[in-house]
Structures are given as structure tokens and as C-alpha cells.
């Protein structure tokens, strides 16, 4: 092979080496949440009053309600990139909610985990800590009794650049073991680090973010002073049954109002009522009812 041939081969090899490798695809967050333990846990459909599906920092603050702009700033300060949430209901009064928050790095996930723990511990409804197993390090759990008597369990843990929440609600049952079991599954399946979407988590400048996290204790202290925000977060983090939309029902639940007259709920379902994914049930605002 002559010089020209060698030169051409060398040029081709150099060209291959200089071609930039494509950025790794962002990790799919959807499989990171654990499925409910049995088929009688039904998907709660998305609505403006619930956190279901993919969400941004702004979506999360909007879900929490008025006065929660500080939470959106905190998420952006910590380098939040995106989140995903699901909810399920069992019977009339049992609810399960799971959420994963992704950050640019583990430092952001740790800061958010710390703030969530502070909010839970300062809640006037907190009654006890929930023991967490050694298989879920960097975790905590809090049991709450809400003013209406509802039993709520809040479990949070962090792994790499992710923070997870598992929330259970029940009118009568202690669902803490369920929440812990879901957390164990999620921790085992979570990667040590995710690929974040390119450019995500940069809503706050790097300089401000570094300064903000370095003085994270100050941010936490300010969160404590913002009492109304903490109250809102504690209250609205609950996937409460009464927030789930549905048709206008009679007090005994036997009839629904079509705008002109009452109709028998055992005979026909409201055409606008939310349906379960398998189209076998409809939501009356409090519980799932079979169709047909």
C-alpha cells in the first residue's frame, strides 16, 4: 500500500474517532415505581387535584396549592430534572401513592430528602416513626393521624440522584407494612445513578445552586418559618379520597344526578365518570363501582 493509501486509511480512522458519541438516552422513570401488591388495587385516573404521571417542579407546586412557590424554588435549587407519580385505590378508603424525584446529582436528592423529612417531623399530625429495614438505607418513615381520623404513612428514601416517596392512606387500616414493602422493592430496583435529560435541572444558575446547597440549613430554617407552606405540603401531599372527582351522588350513594333527574347507580353509570384502565369499573368520587 502506498503513502496515499496509508494517508487515506489514517484519515478515515481519525474521522471515526472524532465523531462524537450520541448522548445516552435518559433513564425511563416509569418502571422505578413498584406495582401494587394485588390486582384489587385500581389505578386512580389523572386529575388536576392529583399528582399522577410525569411532573415538573411547577406541576408539583401547583398540586400542593397556593403558597407553595417556595417548594418549586427549592426543587429547582436542588437541580430537580423531572418526576413521575402514580396512585391506586383499594375499596372505598385505602389509597397508595408513589413518587420518584430525579435530580442532576446525588447532592440534590439528599437535600430534597432532608427537607421532606423535616416537613414530616414538624407536622402536628405526626404520631410515631416507622422503623425502616436495613435493606433500605437513607430512609425514614412517619405515621400521621389526620384531623378526620385518617391514618397516613409517609415513607421517603434516597438512592443516588433519586428521592422516592411512598404514601398510604386508610380510614381504618394500618398500611405502614405495605408502604415499607413497596419501598424495599423500589430501592432494590432503583439504579445507583440515572441518565438525566440533556440540559435538565438548570433552572437555577450553577453559582446560586452551589451557594444555596452549601447553606442548605438556612433554606431549611426558612422553610420552617414559612408555616403555611409546611401546613399545605403536609395536607396536600395526602392523596385524599375526597379530592378525587366524580359525579354528583345522592347521600346514600344509590343514585347519581344527570343534571335533570336522579338515576339508579346500580343500573347505569354516568357517561362522564372516570373509568378504570380495564374499563370494568367507574369512579363515583369515593369508590370504584363495577360496570354493567
Examine the domain organization and report whether 258 and 142 are in the same domain: no
Q: Is residue 167 part of a domain?
A: yes
C-alpha grid cell for residue 199? 440540559
pLDDT band at 11 (very low <50, low <70, confident <90, very high): very low
Ranges of H-type helices in the chain: 3-18, 57-64, 69-77, 106-121, 176-189, 206-214, 216-225, 227-236
pLDDT at 155: 97
Q: Is residue 13 part of a domain?
A: no
Examine the domain organization and report whether 72 and 171 are in the same domain: yes
Examine the domain organization and report whether 111 and 236 are in the same domain: yes
Beta pairing partners, 142 = 129, 154
First-last CA distance in the chain: 80
Examine the domain organization and report whether 151 and 271 are in the same domain: no
Higher-confidence residue of 74 and 97: namely 97
Q: Is residue 9 part of a domain?
A: no
Beta strands at 94-103 and 162-170: parallel, antiparallel or unpaired = antiparallel
pLDDT at 21: 52
Examine the domain organization and report whether 249 and 123 are in the same domain: no
Question: DSSP states of 197-220 as a string?
Answer: PTTTT-SS-HHHHHHHHHTHHHHH
Examine the domain organization and report whether 78 and 180 are in the same domain: yes
**Residue 258 · residue 147 · CB < 8 Å:** no
Q: Where is the domain boundary, 215, 242, 269?
A: 242
pLDDT at 252: 73
- Return the biggest CA–CA distance within the chain: 94
pLDDT band at 220 (very low <50, low <70, confident <90, very high): very low
Which tens digit of pLDDT belongs to each residue from 259-280?
Answer: 778 888 888 888 878 776 567 7
Burial of 279 (0-12, 13-18, 19+ CB in 10 A): exposed
Q: Which domain holds residue 286?
A: 245-292
Q: Scan for cell 367507574, then name that residue.
A: 282
Can you tell me whether residue 281 is helix, strand or coil?
strand
Burial of 107 (0-12, 13-18, 19+ CB in 10 A): middle
Examine the domain organization and report whether 251 and 231 are in the same domain: no
pLDDT band at 245 (very low <50, low <70, confident <90, very high): low
Torsion of CA 103, 109, 114, 115, to 10 degrees: 10
Examine the domain organization and report whether 183 and 287 are in the same domain: no
Which tens digit of pLDDT belongs to each residue from 124-170?
Answer: 888 999 999 999 999 999 999 988 888 999 999 999 999 999 999 99
Indicate the number of domains in the chain: 2
Which tens digit of pLDDT belongs to each residue from 183-207?
Answer: 999 999 999 999 998 877 665 545 4
pLDDT at 43: 92
pLDDT over 50 at 228, yes or no = no
Examine the domain organization and report whether 257 and 157 are in the same domain: no
Q: Is residue 17 part of a domain?
A: no
Examine the domain organization and report whether 259 and 204 are in the same domain: no
Rounded Cα distance, 204 and 214, in Å: 14
Higher-confidence residue of 273 and 62: namely 62
Higher-confidence residue of 42 and 291: namely 42
Examine the domain organization and report whether 45 and 73 are in the same domain: yes
pLDDT at 231: 37
Amino acid at each position: 500500500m502506498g503513502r496515499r493509501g496509508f494517508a487515506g486509511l489514517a484519515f478515515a480512522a481519525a474521522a471515526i474517532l472524532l465523531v462524537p458519541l450520541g448522548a445516552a438516552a435518559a433513564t425511563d422513570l416509569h418502571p422505578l415505581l413498584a406495582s401494587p401488591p394485588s390486582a384489587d388495587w385500581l389505578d386512580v385516573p389523572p386529575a388536576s387535584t392529583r399528582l399522577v404521571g410525569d411532573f415538573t417542579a411547577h406541576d408539583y407546586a401547583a398540586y400542593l396549592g397556593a403558597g407553595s412557590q417556595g417548594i418549586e424554588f427549592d426543587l429547582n435549587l436542588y437541580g430537580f430534572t423531572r418526576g413521575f407519580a402514580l396512585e391506586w385505590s383499594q375499596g372505598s378508603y385505602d389509597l397508595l401513592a408513589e413518587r420518584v424525584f430525579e435530580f442532576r446529582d446525588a447532592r440534590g436528592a439528599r437535600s430534597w430528602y432532608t427537607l421532606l423529612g423535616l416537613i414530616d417531623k414538624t407536622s402536628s399530625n405526626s404520631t410515631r416513626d416507622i422503623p425502616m429495614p436495613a435493606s433500605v438505607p437513607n430512609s425514614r418513615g412517619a405515621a400521621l393521624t389526620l384531623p378526620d381520623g385518617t391514618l397516613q404513612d409517609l415513607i421517603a428514601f434516597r438512592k443516588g440522584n433519586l428521592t422516592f416517596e411512598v404514601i398510604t392512606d386508610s380510614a381504618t387500616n394500618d398500611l405502614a407494612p405495605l408502604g415499607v414493602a413497596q419501598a424495599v422493592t423500589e430501592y432494590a430496583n432503583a439504579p445507583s445513578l440515572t441518565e438525566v435529560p440533556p440540559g435538565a435541572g438548570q433552572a437555577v444558575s450553577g453559582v446560586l445552586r452551589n451557594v444555596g446547597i452549601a447553606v442548605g440549613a438556612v433554606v431549611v430554617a426558612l422553610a420552617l418559618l414559612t408555616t403555611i407552606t409546611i401546613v399545605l405540603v403536609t395536607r396536600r401531599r395526602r392523596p385524599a379520597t375526597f379530592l378525587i372527582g366524580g359525579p354528583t351522588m345522592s347521600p346514600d350513594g344509590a343514585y347519581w344526578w344527570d343534571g335533570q333527574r336522579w338515576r339508579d347507580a346500580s343500573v347505569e353509570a354516568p357517561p362522564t365518570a372516570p373509568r378504570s384502565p380495564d374499563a370494568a369499573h367507574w369512579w363515583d368520587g369515593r369508590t370504584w363501582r363495577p360496570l354493567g
